[in-house]
Each structure stands twice: as C-alpha cells, then as structure tokens.
Chains A and B, each alone.
Chain A
C-alpha cells in the first residue's frame, strides 16, 4: 500500500517539475527577445504564463491540504515548506520573463549595445542558472548548488559592468537613452531571475540537508 501522503508528495513533485519547465521556456523566450531572435507569438507566451499561474495556485492548494490533513514531519515537512517557496520563486521568474518580453519588443537600436557590451553572455548565463536549478530539483542534487551560487555571482558582476557601460554610452550618445534604459531594466530583471533560481537551489539544499543557507555566501555555510 502506497502511503496517501507519499501519493500527494509525488503529485506535488510532478507539478513542480512541470512548472519549472514552463518557467525555463519563458526565460528562453525572454533571452531570444533581448537578443532579437525570433520569439513565439505573444498568445503562446501568455498562455504559458497563465499555466504557470494556475500551477502556482494548485501547489498552494495541495500544500495547504497536506499541512491541514496529513501533518507532515521531518523530510516531508521540509519538502512541503520548500515546495511553497519554490512555487513562489518560479511564479516570479515567469512574471519577470513576461516583463522582459514586453519591454524588449519596444526597444529599437538595441543590437549595437548588445553586441558591444556582451549582453548575450549575461542573459544566457541567467538562462543557464534556471536550467541548472531545474535539474538540481529534479535530481535532488545538492552538489550543483555551489555551482549555481557561483554562476549567479558571475551574472551579477557581468550585469553590473554592462550597466555601467550602457550608462556611459547613454551619456555620450543621447540616441541610446531610451533603448539603453530599457536594456538596463531587462538586465536587472535577468539578475532577479538568476536570484530567484538561486533561491530555489537554496530550498533544494534545505530539503536535503535541513540546513538554511539563505542570505549567506555558499562558502560561509559549508
């Protein structure tokens, strides 16, 4: 006899994997939008966004039921707490991706800035973190958490440099002010996406080790 609780946890795990995959595809669309590559129709992207929102609500609903009816403890408890946090992070990743897609559609003359300041490297870095985080959850692989932290630091640092350069460019060439500002916002969004993904990795670490590594450098805690 499979335990009723195990069935519920299995269901939850399946939904998290699904919502994580959807968010990953939204981030991929956001990357393409910034790099002016062909993107899916807005209708499709919006549809995925709605799916993410619905699954987010479903995860909350299942977690609420499990808390109220099954009284999870130990690893089960950590899984439920983490599931709620992960779902929140993923939902934000979806929202940020949508914002980037909307924002970058209106940016003209962005090609020059993108190639000049190696923006592709930064946004693909954020995309990579999202994919690695999904794998980290899927395989419950705590060994990849450290790498995700490092990648996040790398994205942040590169993004910060790029933003300084874009600001410099805007000062010298007023024509780039509108596109530059939008690009800075998009970069900040990608930084947030990388942060949210890193938070998911933190939750996976907590799930496995019952140890919180929030607000700390990975190396400080290990």
Chain B
C-alpha cells in the first residue's frame, strides 16, 4: 500500500482549472520532488495533501487523496489531526517571535502536552534530529530571530517534526537560503526520509536530483511524467520533461 495516493484529482481556483486529473502515489519513507515551471500546479498539489487549500475561498477539489488508507477529503476527516500527521515547511523560514526553545515547544503545548520533562525531551530530540543542537544548545532562551536563515529553517523543520508527523511537505524550503545552508537542509532531507515520507516542491532541478527518490513533472496543471528521479534525469520518457530539465523551455 502506498503512503499517499491521489486519484484523478482536479482542483479549481474559481473558474481556473489549476490541476487536471492528477493521479500520483508515493511510497512510505521516500522523498518525492514536484518540479515544473511557475504556475504549473505543483504547490497547489502539495497544499492539497494537508488541506491547506481549504483556507482559500472559492476553491473546489474533486477526486480523492488517500493517506494511510483513509480519504482525507471525506466529511468526517479531522483536519487538525491530518495537519499533525502531515507537517509543512515553507519557502521562507517563519519562526515564531519566541525563543528557540519555545518555537519547538509551542506546538507541543498547543497539542495538549503539559509534562515539562516530556516537552524538554522532545524539543532537544527534534533539534538534534535537524542537526541544529550543537549550534543552539547554549542559546535556547534567545530569540529565534537571532539565528541565520538556514538555522531558522532547520528550526522550523524541528518545529514541524516535534509533533511527530509521518509526512513532511516542503514548499521550496531552500529558495531563500545560501548554498551552505541549502546543502545542510538537503542532507537533512536525505537523513529524514528514514523516518518520514517527504514531498518537496522545488524550482531547483539539481536539488530535485540530489534529494529525491521519485520526481513528478507538472506542466500547466497536468502531471506530465512521474518516475524514479534517476530515470527522469537520465532518460525521461516524455519530450516535454526532457525539454524542461535540459532548460529548453520553462
């Protein structure tokens, strides 16, 4: 069974038919990269996986998205629980205006965890998990804004991981970062896939190559090709994919 299964997904922003018949399945503990030119629907598709598009007025979705065997668009779906299970990291690091410690602890408290020891343990574990511990262990009480962009983004990843999701969505997580921070996040993604299923939207095709197991190429709301990343980058089956990854259009 696949971790995530999308079947004939269509999505509309009002009259705009943004996604057309997207059927895409992702295995557990893999990294899937969504690539394609701006406006192709990759971020829209990503946000469907934790129902973030529900927050936009005038949108409509048809088809089904099944996570762990359950259709997440069924009426009785608990969206809060869904978003706990499907964490998200955004393009720009967006730490809360709180201390480094509180940035991770906050989500735990909101989710009803009150035991001080447990909170502390989970904060430390997740900060370690994102390879940030050595850099922040002596300044946990300092504002998260004192961290560099790359550190802030790793903190945001720690914040997402603290509430123990099984899926992590990343929307261009390194586009605002310098090459060194980017490389740290990429290595982190590579490590995290042992425990999580990761879906990443990226404009950087080299990044898709470096971090993902499978790659989906979107163009004008359609899924043009979906295959192992190595296949996509060495012998894509569709000419449009080849033209895009070789920089001939888009």
Contact = CB atoms under 8 A, between A and B. Distances in A.
Interface of A: 1, 3-5, 64-65, 68-71
Given A1-B131, A4-B190, A68 B234 contact: yes
Interface string B159-197: 000000000000000000000000100111011000000
A48 to B, nearest CB: 29
Interface residues of B, number: 14
A64 B234 contact: yes
B234 A71 contact: no
Contacts of A5: 210
Interface of B: 131, 183, 186-188, 190-191, 206, 209-210, 229-230, 233-234
A70 to B, nearest CB: 6
Nearest to B131: A1
Q: Report, nearest first, the 9 A-B pairs whose CB atoms are least far apart.
A: A69-B209, A68-B233, A1-B187, A68-B234, A4-B190, A71-B206, A65-B230, A70-B210, A1-B191
B84 to A, nearest CB: 27
Contacts of B206: 71
A64 B210 CA distance: 13
Main secondary structure of the interface of B (DSSP, over half): helix
A62 B187 CA distance: 19
Contacts of B188: 1
Contacts of B210: 4-5, 69-71
Given A1-B187, A4-B190, A64-B234, A69 B131 contact: no
Given A1-B131, A70-B209, A65 B234 contact: yes
Contact of A71 (B187, B190, B191, B209): B209
Given A1-B131, A4-B210, A69 B190 contact: no
Nearest to A68: B233
Nearest to B188: A1
A5 B186 CA distance: 11
14 contacts: A1-B187, A1-B188, A1-B190, A1-B191, A3-B183, A4-B186, A4-B187, A4-B190, A65-B230, A68-B209, A68-B233, A69-B209, A69-B230, A69-B233
Nearest to A4: B190
A70 B229 CA distance: 12
Nearest to A6: B187
